[in-house]
Every structure is written in C-alpha cells, then in structure tokens.
Amino acid sequence: MTYPVSSIHDLSPDDYRAREEVSNSDLSQFARSPLHYAFSRDNPTPSTPAQQLGTAVHTLVLEEESFPLIYRTLPEDINLRTKIGREERDYLLGKVDSPDHLLNADTAKLVNDMAAAVRSHPVAREMLEGAVTEVSRFWEEPFGLRCKCRVDAMPVGQWSDTVVDIKTTVNADPYLDFPRSLARWGYHRQAAFYLKSFPEGRSRFHFIAVESKPPHGVSVMELDARSIAQGLLEVDELVSRFTQCQAEDKWPGYSDFAVPVSLPAYAFKSP
C-alpha cells in the first residue's frame, strides 16, 4: 500500500535533491550495503561527465525552452591560454548556476545531436508530445518511510497509462545489451519504485534510450510485467530493511562474519 501522493511540477533539481525523502538512488546504494548508503548520504560526490551529459540531454529533450536559460556554450574558437579567452569563459560562468552548465562546443553539439535523435524517433516523439515533464512526486510507504522520485515524462492521450524515463547509454540494443543494463543498474527496480507513486492511473513503464556515440541509435522499450513485479519485490524488501536501519540508526556493511567464497560457475573448467 502507498499512502497519498503529492506532485510538484516546478521544483528545481537542486531543491528536489535537497529534500530528505528516500530516492531510488538511495535505495540502490542501500542495496549494495547500508554502510555504502550512509557514506554516500554524508559524503555527496560531484556528478560524473556521463551524468552531466545525461542531465543536459534530459533538459534539452524535456525542457527545450528552458535549455538556453540554464546552459551556455563556449565559442568553438575560444583560446583559454589567452587572457581574453579566460575572461570570456569567466563571464559565461557567471551566467550559469553551476560550472556543469557551461558546455564546450563539442559537448554542446553532442547534446543537440542526441536530443535530435530522440525527437526523430516516431514513438518517442509521440510519447513526449504534450507530456508533463520533470515531475517531482512524494509519498509515504508503510511504517512511515517517506519516498520521492522525479519522473521524466507523464504522457497524455493513448500513452496516459505509462511513465517514461530517458536513458543515455553506450548501447541501446533492446534485444541484448539493454536487458543487461536493466539488471546491472537496477532499472527494473527504478520502474517499480516510480510506479508505486501512481497507485491509480499509470501501470506501465517505458524507457527511451539514446546512444551517446554517433549515429545515436534510439530504442523505445516497455518493461514487461514480470520485470516490474521482480522490481517491486526488491523495492519492498529494501524499504523494509531501510526502515529498520533508520529506526535503529545502524548502517552495517557486508557482513561481520567470515564467509565462504568461490569462483563463479562459468570459471570452472570441465576435466
């Protein structure tokens, strides 16, 4: 059971991250170990270049009108070895909220090309047309754990029963590589977690995956019900354990005992 849900459509990413509710990213850290979650909570790290690229692509695809207000681009011919070049860079840095929002010319072209690839896909374009985007949702799990998620897109019309999440990836092959990414990165768990904020109305989950290298292949994929059910089992188990750790304020690591270890099955050779 999920308790009443609230939605905020104009909450900035920084304000969303500053809120104390538990996110899917938090649960992913907790899935590794409670200790890793507690460390990441108390020691936030800067975003990686891949994350910065993904954020820029998300912004251009989902909030195209806001993109030029958030991001600036260095001139292609800027020479940062000169005083004039450094002064121009510093001037542009003063126009953005974060250094991450000042793109070099090559990155800006990459972001534009990836966004154009998404828009050129007929199903992706149809899903995103008129969709409500970047929606922050908040709810409470049983036993009082308060949760949050930030939905990329809530489509309308024939797609009004689904939630859309955009992924930037190295390989968007829906038949081989992306299913592996589902398991490796816990995307099935993310889908289940997000859908818990829609107790009524939306029960499907679609990924729009775009490759970060030319020709920027795009796949639109619906996560099957079996995978969502598996994700839900994992989310409920993590929420239960998280609630217990939170109540006791104890965040253990892997194990306090010596445990047996063995090669994985594929490493054993037949005689």
The H or E element that residue 205 is part of is: strand 204-211
Tokens of 130: 């008129």
Cα separation, 184 vs 197, whole angstroms: 23
Are the beta carbons of 206 and 224 closer than 8 angstroms?
no
In this prediction the pTM is 0.91
Cα separation, 173 vs 95, whole angstroms: 38
Question: Residue 143 contacts by C-beta under 8 Å, 6 or more apart in sequence?
Answer: 240, 243
One-letter amino acid identity for 209? A
Cα separation, 219 vs 167, whole angstroms: 10
Length of the chain: 271
Give pLDDT, residue 3: 62
**CB atoms < 10 A from the CB of 227, how many?**
19
Residue 152 in this model has a pLDDT that exceeds 70: yes
Residue 213 DSSP label: S
Give pLDDT, residue 143: 83
**pLDDT average, residue stretch 74-100:** 93
Tokens of 46: 């800067």
Residue 4 in this model has a pLDDT that exceeds 80: no
Q: What percent of the chain has pLDDT over 70?
A: 99
**pLDDT average, residue stretch 240-253:** 97
Residue 133 DSSP label: E
Among residues 213, 216, 196, 214, which one has the least CA distance to residue 205?
196
Task: Convert the pLDDT of each residue in 163-212 to its tens digit.
Answer: 999 999 999 999 989 999 999 999 999 999 999 999 888 999 999 999 99
Give pLDDT, residue 200: 82
